[in-house]
Amino acid sequence: MTFEPPPRIGDWYKSTTGDAFEIVAQDDDDDTLELQYYDGTIEELDAESWEYMHPEPIEPPEDWSGSMDLSREDHQSPEAWQETGDWMRQLDRIDGEPG
């Protein structure tokens, strides 16, 4: 059984419900695909389900953090890390030592 359109690992698609997902694995022995939705949910599909879904190829999302379950606060740097300069001086500043 073959998939139509043929999906490729790493490509992003949109389902008819508007959900964005990436193909993260394909098992040729079982004729299944493993999808990871933008919110991080993993799903396995067979060829019949893939065809029924009618996925459309899309560009990868600009915000990669969706599937990582990160909030904006999780990946923003504290003020001390945004300054340029010597890393040891910045670490000393965090530790409260004079820099």
pLDDT in tens, 68-93: 554 555 545 555 445 555 656 666 66
Q: How far apart are CA 87 and CA 56, in angstroms?
A: 46
Read off the tokens for 88: 């040891």
Q: How far apart are CA 84 and CA 3, in angstroms?
A: 51
Domain ranges of the chain: 1-61, 69-99
For tokens 């999808």, what's the residue?
35
Burial class (CB in 10 A: 0-12, 13-18, 19+), 40: exposed
Residue-wise pLDDT for 22-72, tens only, equals: 999 999 899 999 999 988 999 999 989 998 888 999 999 887 555 555 455
Single pTM value for the model:
0.61
CB-CB neighbours of 33 under 10 Å: 22
Name the nearest CA neighbour of 80 among 70, 67, 90, 95. Answer: 90
Q: What is the CATH number of domain 1-61?
A: 2.30.30.140
